[in-house]
Amino acid sequence: MKRGRFITFEGGEGCGKSTQIKRLEAFLKEKGIDVIVTREPGGTRLAELIRGLLKDEKDDPPCDRAELLLFLAARAQLVKNVIIPALNSGTWVLSDRFSDSTFAYQGYGRGLDLEVLKIANEFACDSLKPDLTLLLDVPPEIAALRMRKREEETNTSADRIELAGDEFHRKLREGFYALAKAEKDRITTIDASGTQDEVWEAVCKSLKRLI
């Protein structure tokens, strides 16, 4: 049995990950490839409960270290119960965020020690690494416009993490650039400020080495 491929999508909020993942899922299914989509935090019952705590707890919001550990607990559960079994059975896994988000948000964004994060993250995900990571890069102003439009359309409001200020989002973007620079073979950066079709074209191009 050939192991499935593990592809992750990363970037700041509103960069268009979910939109492109849906397209890729449909594209792979059309090619006859078994594929599942997961998201982080989330993807199992326990991890979805943790997601609720992380995004919406306003009365007793997690401190930075608690936030890190909650993300990692959700990841450990998802990796063990969903991702590894799927990959071992030959199914491809597309994940809306994975470890790079922890380095970008909790490391570069919140300022937690990157070396500690590395060890803790490897423990949580049993050293699993994506075969390919697509970093959708979009200027924060464009992302903010998209998010506002979506909030109006769906009548929702920004969550606890989305409410972090401009300085946080600047550090976050720089963090993603640093991660991409350090792992050029795994992480492909895509300009995601164009139309959905333009971004999809770039996604397809970067998939060539896997398909």
Min CB(34)–ligand Z5A separation in Å: 23
Q: Which two tokens stand for residue 75?
A: 């990841």
Euclidean distance between CA atoms 139 and 143, whole angstroms = 6
> Which C-beta is closer to ligand Z5A: that of 5 or that of 51?
51
> Which C-beta is closer to ligand Z5A: that of 92 or that of 105?
105
> Which C-beta is closer to ligand Z5A: that of 3 or that of 201?
201
> Which C-beta is closer to ligand Z5A: that of 28 or that of 202?
202
- 210 and 131 in contact (C-beta within 8 Å)? yes
The bridge status of strand 6-10 relative to strand 132-137 is parallel
Min CB(202)–ligand Z5A separation in Å: 11
- 194 and 14 in contact (C-beta within 8 Å)? no
- 41 and 70 in contact (C-beta within 8 Å)? yes
Min CB(86)–ligand Z5A separation in Å: 18
Residues near ligand Z5A (CB under 6 A) are: 11, 13-19, 39-41, 71, 96-97, 101-102, 105-106, 146, 150, 161-162, 195-196, 199
Euclidean distance between CA atoms 202 and 180, whole angstroms = 16
Euclidean distance between CA atoms 211 and 205, whole angstroms = 10
Min CB(102)–ligand Z5A separation in Å: 4
> Which C-beta is closer to ligand Z5A: that of 106 or that of 188?
106
97 burial level (CB within 10 Å; 0-12, 13-18, 19+): buried
Euclidean distance between CA atoms 177 and 161, whole angstroms = 20
The bridge status of strand 35-39 relative to strand 132-137 is unpaired
> Which C-beta is closer to ligand Z5A: that of 163 or that of 182?
163
Min CB(41)–ligand Z5A separation in Å: 5
Min CB(199)–ligand Z5A separation in Å: 5
